[in-house]
Amino acid sequence: MTVISAPYDVNVDDVFVDLKPVFGVPLHLKYEGINLAGSVKLKAALSMVLAAESGGILSPGDVLVESSSGNLGVALSMIAAHRGYGFVCVTDSRCNPASKRMMEAYGARVLVISRPDKVHGLLGARIEYVRRLCEYDPNYVWLNQYVNEHNWLAHYRTTAPSVAAEFPELDVLFVGAGTTGTLMGCARYFREQQRPVKIVAVDSVGSVTFGGPALTRHIPGLGAGIRPQMLDRSLVDDVVMVPEQDTLERCHAMAKQGFLFGGSTGTVVSGALRWLAEHPGSERLTTVALSPDQGDRYLDSVYDPEWVEQHFGSPGGWDGGAAAPARPALVTSGV
């Protein structure tokens, strides 16, 4: 029998889904959503909070404030509720309604930004609002997931070693790029271990992280309107950019097999399939993709037919069950 006293004590780190029956290619998906926050962001959130406490940055009576598109906000809401802090999440209009309701259920205050910054979009507007809040009230503590080293250290210490232990012959690891905390933590671990693992970053078309043009994006999670400061491109072997419709197709294909994953997971899986289709002999490789989130909080968007049709047209002609077709322009090597 397992008895816990803190909600973040539930965090299963060794479950992998074999996606070959779904897509016909050898790909294992590391399921990072088996915790009460429902996403990989629990690791970074807890790491940053504990470090702030031990460093004297966070004290009783303080109010955490953070910019988040949803998943980190949910994780911080849960942690703040348990540890006795206030929490203000500054998000934007793309935040899933379910994520907003979950944060509010934990007692958090959710501020929704709808007017983008002229240069850096909604993310830039969110970050600027957080800065102003902290200037206004000294009791606000901004952990700043975008530059906080304890973001990537969480994955250096837990996520990457877990993958390495289960797949000692790993050839390729696919990681989604948001703040790039997960990406950098895993990349640094395998580089320092001198393991010949190819690190492939997966990002959304419209994100500027790897130099692409800023375009409108509808699915929260991966991607950024500002280049992440913690990104070290020398640690990344390849980059795959995924259109959001491909994200939807992969999410729906997995749901038809009983696996309800979130939009970020759909993007990572789509990127992995695209990369494997581009590389002859990939069927002999040992490959793992990281699944950042569950699908329940995407019921009002990714899995809502009306929302999908509004933003992407009718899904009636989709073919989400097969491996992604080769589109060489979306795969960048040697970055």
Helix, strand, or coil (residue 176): strand
74 and 98 share one domain? yes
- The per-residue pLDDT of the chain, averaged, comes to 91
142, 163, 182 - which closes a domain:
142
142, 160, 176 - which closes a domain:
142
142, 176, 196 - which closes a domain:
142
Tokens of 249: 């197709």
Per-residue pLDDT, averaged over 100-123, amounts to 91
Per-residue pLDDT, averaged over 40-69, amounts to 95
Cβ–Cβ < 8 Å for 17, 28: yes
CATH code, domain with 99? 3.40.50.1100
225 and 121 share one domain? no
pLDDT in tens, 150-189: 999 999 999 999 999 999 999 999 999 999 999 999 999 9
Choice between 90 and 96, residue whose per-residue pLDDT is larger? 90
Choice between 334 and 122, residue whose per-residue pLDDT is larger? 122
Choice between 323 and 68, residue whose per-residue pLDDT is larger? 68
pLDDT in tens, 287-302: 999 999 999 999 999 9
pTM for this prediction:
0.92
Residue 13 inside a domain? The answer is: yes
Residue 2 inside a domain? The answer is: no
Q: Which residues are within 8 A (CB) of 171 and not within 5 positions of it... i.e. 6 or more apart?
A: 196, 197, 198, 285, 286, 287
154 and 109 share one domain? no
Residue 262 has pLDDT above 70, yes or no: yes
Q: How far apart are CA 271 and CA 122, in angstroms?
A: 24
Cite the beta strand spans of 205-244 per DSSP E: 238-242
Residue 330 has pLDDT above 80, yes or no: no
274 and 251 share one domain? yes
pLDDT of res. 316: 57
Tell me the pLDDT band of 138, cut-offs 50, 70 and 90.
Answer: confident
pLDDT of res. 315: 59
Residue 300 inside a domain? The answer is: yes
Cβ–Cβ < 8 Å for 239, 204: no
pLDDT of res. 181: 96
Residue 309 inside a domain? The answer is: yes
Residue 1 inside a domain? The answer is: no
Q: How far apart are CA 184 and CA 178, in angstroms?
A: 11
Domain that includes residue 302, residue range: 7-34+149-333
E strand or H helix at 25:
none
Torsion angle defined by CA atoms of residues 257, 263, 269 and 275, in that order, rounded to the nearest 10 degrees: 140
65 and 95 share one domain? yes
Report how many domains make up the chain.
2
pLDDT of res. 145: 94
171 and 71 share one domain? no
Per-residue pLDDT, averaged over 97-102, amounts to 93
72 and 122 share one domain? yes
